Chain A
């Protein structure tokens, strides 16, 4: 079974500080994508960042970066210079090339304190 685990149900960070959200996954596949989605109170699922498993270089999108450890099956999200607008649920997602069943973790609720 391919599962995604987010071990932190809730996280809190001070505005302008850095926070890291954890994600691990279980798979026997070698080719897949990993994603982080953000879901603010509006419910909209917003794609934050993606990582192809064959790429060794960690993906970066402005203040968002990942630490992808393929051997450890770990895919953490680092948010630098946190802003109030970053407060949301964050979902880690795993997507293998060979099927279309994108698997999501249970989510981490991030609170940003002013």
Chain B
């Protein structure tokens, strides 16, 4: 298995631009998670999906952030418009069932100038 795949690995954009991060979970995993990692706040859960349905988006910082999962093998996290304080590493993770190991993608390092 290729593991959780994320793209791009690095993204540099200017303030005000739209940013789209992509994730392909491990095949057969029913749960997908988006996390953000910063020095100040550590790892934070933004949103998670179960069977492609968003279950809890209480961690999404504001309306500028949105996430979709149109099918079992693809999810996006969109920031529009982006701001410098959105600079962070964004991780996607997936899990086969409600309990068990959670596997992370390599992360996307986002820099907003």
Contact = CB atoms under 8 A, between A and B. Distances in A.
A38 to B, nearest CB: 11
B43 A100 contact: no
A105 B33 CA distance: 18
A44 B107 contact: yes
Contacts, number: 45
B89 interface: yes
Interface string A61-101: 00000000000000000000000000000010001010011
B61 to A, nearest CB: 16
B70 interface: no
A50 B48 contact: no
Nearest to B31: A100
A16 interface: no
B109 interface: yes
Chain B binding surface, main DSSP class = strand
B56 A43 contact: no
Contact of A106 (B42, B101, B109): B42
Interface residues of B, number: 22
A44 B89 CA distance: 11
Contacts of B55: 100
Contact of A44 (B99, B102, B106): B106
Contacts of A104: 42-43
Contacts of A106: 42
12 contacts: A33-B100, A44-B107, A45-B93, A45-B104, A47-B101, A91-B43, A97-B99, A100-B31, A100-B55, A102-B33, A102-B45, A104-B43
Interface of A: 33, 35, 37, 42-47, 50, 91, 95, 97, 100-102, 104-107
